[in-house]
């Protein structure tokens, strides 16, 4: 199958390169405008790492990966904790059989708002072991249980904590252990995230939109292009330390490339 090339168009080229480290371009919410959204990202030099989750999500994401020039991760979201074992098994084999198409396993993890934490933990652990076998990093969803996630990972693999919302202490421990913190578009609105970036070095920081979720613009669907807004916000906060804008862009770009080995 050939990769569809999206022509550079009215938006022109952008002298900076960005990577949205986590979004869901296969989400059904993009069914009407996916191609346009991908084109806009491409025109602004925003590379995309999409995270397919669940059976349908993984299959759709794999199809898109074949069609477009995007990067892919596949995983099992903790929201799916009620799924039957055979569904978990199926996703497990899809990931196992697509090693060469993925840059990471995820998102996987724990969510304090979902039920049955023991089962969430079992499934999370299983997919970490798979990532270990495949020699891939993982993308972690750890809402409210970030510390527990860190303990379960136990440095077996390198992880990226997607939309990190935990505390500063754990963030520093994660970075010290070689893991990555992903700052989402939430930073445009949230003081917690703004403070977090203020107090962290940019080493092992990456950025994401989690599109179509977490839009920084009220009433609008989020899209990978908005990862530029995350960088701009980080620059706003870090310029006091003497950072220049291109320095931040390049640092975060390199961090992401290193993490996903792309
Ligand atoms: Zn997500």
**Tens-place pLDDT, residues 79-111:** 999 999 999 999 999 999 999 999 999 999 999
Give yes or no for residue 259 having a pLDDT over 80: yes
Banded model confidence at residue 5, pLDDT cuts 50, 70, 90 = very low
51 CA to middle of ligand 1, Å?
A: 7
Smallest CA-to-CA distance from 127 within 51, 201, 196 is with: 51
Average model confidence (pLDDT) for the chain?
94
Give yes or no for residue 30 having a pLDDT over 80: yes
Q: Dump pLDDT digits (tens) for 45-65.
A: 999 999 999 999 999 999 999
Q: How far apart are CA 156 and CA 150, in angstroms?
A: 10
Smallest CA-to-CA distance from 41 within 29, 28, 25 is with: 25
Instruction: Find the helix or strand (DSSP H, E) in which 207 lies.
Output: strand 205-207
240 CA to middle of ligand 1, Å?
A: 31
In DSSP notation, 146-181 reads: HHHHHHHHTTSS-EEETT--S-HHHHHHHHHTT-EE
Instruction: Write down all domains in the chain, each with its CATH number in brackets.
Output: 18-260 (3.20.20.140)
| 196 Cβ contact partners less than 8 Å away, ≥ 6 residues apart | 164, 168, 171, 181, 183
Question: Is the pLDDT higher at 154 or at 4?
Answer: 154
Report the interhelical angle of 117-134 vs 146-153 (nearest 10°).
Answer: 40
Give yes or no for residue 9 having a pLDDT over 60: no
Q: How far apart are CA 32 and CA 37, in angstroms?
A: 10
Tell me what pLDDT residue 135 has: 98
What are the tokens at 228? 């530029």
52 CA to middle of ligand 1, Å?
A: 9
Tell me what pLDDT residue 7 has: 45
Q: How far apart are CA 146 and CA 161, in angstroms?
A: 8
107 CA to middle of ligand 1, Å?
A: 7
48 CA to middle of ligand 1, Å?
A: 13
140 CA to middle of ligand 1, Å?
A: 9
């Amino acid at each position: 199958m050939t990769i569809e090339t999206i022509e550079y168009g009215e938006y022109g080229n952008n002298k900076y390169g960005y990577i949205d480290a986590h979004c869901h371009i296969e989400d059904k919410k993009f069914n009407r405008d996916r191609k346009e959204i991908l084109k806009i990202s491409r025109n602004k030099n925003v590379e995309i790492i999409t995270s397919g989750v669940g059976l349908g999500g993984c299959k759709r994401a794999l199809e898109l990966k074949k069609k477009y020039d995007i990067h892919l991760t596949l995983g099992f979201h903790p929201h799916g904790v009620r799924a039957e074992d055979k569904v978990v098994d199926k996703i497990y084999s899809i990931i196992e059989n697509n090693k060469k198409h993925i840059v990471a396993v995820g998102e996987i993890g724990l969510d304090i708002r979902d039920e049955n934490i023991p089962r969430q933990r079992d499934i999370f652990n299983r997919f970490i072991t798979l990532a270990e076998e495949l020699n891939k990093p993982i993308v972690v969803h750890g809402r409210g249980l970030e510390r527990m996630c860190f303990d379960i990972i136990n440095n077996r693999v390198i992880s990226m904590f997607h939309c990190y919302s935990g505390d500063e202490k754990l963030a520093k421990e994660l970075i010290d252990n070689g893991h990555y913190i992903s700052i989402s578009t939430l930073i445009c609105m949230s003081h917690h995230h703004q403070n977090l970036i203020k107090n962290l070095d940019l080493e092992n920081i990456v950025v994401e939109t989690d599109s179509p979720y977490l839009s920084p613009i009220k009433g609008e669907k989020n899209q990978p292009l908005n990862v530029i807004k995350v960088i701009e916000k980080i620059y706003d906060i870090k310029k006091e330390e003497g950072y220049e804008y291109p320095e931040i862009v390049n640092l975060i770009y390199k961090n992401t490339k290193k993490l996903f080995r792309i």
